[in-house]
A and B are shown apart, each in its own frame.
Chain A
Amino acid sequence: MAENLIESVLRFENVTVRFDEVLAIDDVSFEIKKGETRIVFGAAGSGKSVMLKVALGLQRAASGHAYVFGQDITSLPEAALFAIRAKIGVLFQEGGLFDSLTVEENVAYPLIYRKQAVKETLSREEISKRVLEALRFVELEHTLTKFPSELSGGMRRRVGIARAAVAQPALMLYDSPTAGLDPITANTIIHLIIKARDTTNTTTVIVTHRYQDGHLIANFRYNPESGNIEHAGRDASFHERTKFMVFHEGHLVFLGTEQELERQTDPYISKFKAVRT
């Protein structure tokens, strides 16, 4: 019974999404609770990004229900969704930065515009303080006045993380955070995701097609004392909070812990195992 007491952050009930005649997501159900980390694997076009868009209310489900923070968002009007989205931070695949705005304005955007949703007005000083804090977190405080086009792909992704985290959301969604990056930059991004997750205990969903990312996030954690990322060892409470999902052509074909994933023999699912056979 104790498990049910933990607040549900994201819940899908038989969600189906259709683009014209093509099923992008077919009858998908799962639940993510507060403080959990969920790693979502899948090949390109498997429906994993669409799943994130449904969670944000950017894409409507053709049937089924999606619950965010316990509220059914499936049929909510756009205006009501803003209040919910204000509690979600999201990093888009290419960063999704506004290229007509500077880095500072980009990171400040959620703080400036969320007042419409949550009726909270921040002073100019408070905004610039929090923007600087968020940029310092991703170690890009020197880029304030630059435009996204002047930054490298990895830096844009880091600014994207700063923008997603600046409003201290209760749920963070990462859409292919390492796509198109070299392995070293990809590692930096993953370290930042781990740090963002563990400093505030944020519920985190990471969509990726790189098995390395998932297994790093599932096994490493941020140590606030040393400021480093370190292996979590055999800490059971840490591992049971991390689950994996695998999407294949719109279907949820696997949902379970890392150990369960390693035991899978299906050739498609095996592609995402850490131990290669």
Chain B
Amino acid sequence: MLDLVKPPVLALQDFFYLTGRALRNLFRSPHYTDDIFLQMDIIGVGSLPIVVLTGFFSGAVMALQMARALSTYGATGQVGQIVAITLVRELGPVLSALLVAGRNGSGIASELGSMKVTEQIDAMRALGTDPIQKLVTPRLIATSIMLPFLTVISDFVGLIGGYVIATTMLNITGSQYWNTAYKALVWSDVAQGLLKPFLFAMVIAMVGCFYGLRTSGGTQGVGRATTQAVVVASVWIFVITLFVTRIFVWVST
């Protein structure tokens, strides 16, 4: 029984140890600014097209679906409100995070994993650089900065998607749509909509780095690490969003 529990507990301990060291490095020199900007480009700018695309369609589909439900109460005019709240609070952060987890979490895990199996991580340590400082911390910083931005963009594009549907198919005027959408949002929605991507970003970067650096067993191991990183990060995204939502609901009542 104990043997069954031991590996996951040890893995969790290693994970928090790695996270602790990555966070501690934020306040320690040397800082690899070049690497941070390179990662910001890969993670942020690179993910922009797909985040914009899914953001637009999720907003559009939300408007369509909600209009059907709202029409039973004759409240189709409120569609802007519903789209704004669901997007900013939940869909925007979660969808962007899932996309970035799939795109960059896997990328981080496979990159660090191949470096690990080809002894590049060892070489890095042997040549006098701390791989956590040089590889993990820049990825953590870059993801934590870029994911909130991506989420904001995704939210906004999603609202535009809803607007396109509302004006072309639901006979709602643009001003009515934007008015209800704008009025529906309060500060706590924005706060929760920005806190979530920040937490998701830390999970995506750290889980990717963790599985990447733990890779063993050659090319096959790299594949395994990549899959694990995406699956674990995605699950954690859902768990975290539930808890954060619960906390915000609890605070606001």
Contacts and interface: CB of A to CB of B under 8 A. Distances in A.
A96 interface: yes
A256 B82 CA distance: 81
A96 B30 CA distance: 23
Nearest to B124: A98
A165 B118 CA distance: 20
Contact of A117 (B118, B120, B122, B128): B128
A97 interface: yes
B126 A85 contact: yes
B191 interface: no
Chain A CB within 10 Å — which of B119, B122, B124, B127 has the most?
A: B127
Interface in B90-127: 115, 118-120, 122-127
B128 A53 contact: no
A53 B122 contact: yes
Contact of A58 (B30, B122, B129): B122
A94 interface: yes
B123 A92 contact: yes
A268 interface: no
Nearest to B122: A58
Given A78-B130, A116-B30, A58 B120 contact: no
A96 B128 contact: no
Interface in B114-165: 115, 118-120, 122-130
A58 B128 CA distance: 11
7 contacts: A58-B125, A82-B128, A88-B126, A92-B122, A94-B119, A114-B128, A117-B128
A90 interface: yes
B120 A99 contact: yes
A17 interface: no
A59 B110 CA distance: 23
Contacts of A98: 115, 120, 123-124
A97 B120 contact: yes
Contacts of A90: 123, 126
Given A85-B128, A93-B119, 18 more contacts: A56-B126, A86-B128, A92-B119, A92-B123, A96-B118, A96-B119, A96-B120, A96-B126, A97-B123, A98-B123, A99-B118, A113-B128, A113-B129, A114-B128, A116-B30, A116-B128, A116-B129, A163-B127
Contacts of A58: 122, 125-126
A220 interface: no
A94 B128 contact: no
B142 to A, nearest CB: 16
A94 B123 CA distance: 11
Contact of B128 (A93, A97, A110, A163): A110
Contacts of A114: 127-128
A56 B127 CA distance: 10
Contacts of A117: 128
A109 interface: yes
Contacts of B126: 56, 58, 85, 88, 90, 92, 96
Interface in A58-104: 58, 78-79, 82, 85-86, 88, 90, 92-94, 96-99
A204 B125 CA distance: 20
A110 B127 contact: yes
**Most chain A CB inside 10 Å of its own CB: which residue of B120, B122, B123:** B123
B143 to A, nearest CB: 18
Contact of B122 (A79, A86, A96, A99): A96
A86 B118 CA distance: 21
A94 B118 contact: yes
Specify which of B124, B125, B128 lies most central, judged by the most chain A CB atoms within 10 Å of its CB: B128
A251 B128 CA distance: 30
A110 B130 CA distance: 13
A113 B127 contact: yes
Most central of A58, A79, A88, A163 by chain B CB within 10 Å = A58
A56 B126 CA distance: 7
Contacts of A82: 128, 130
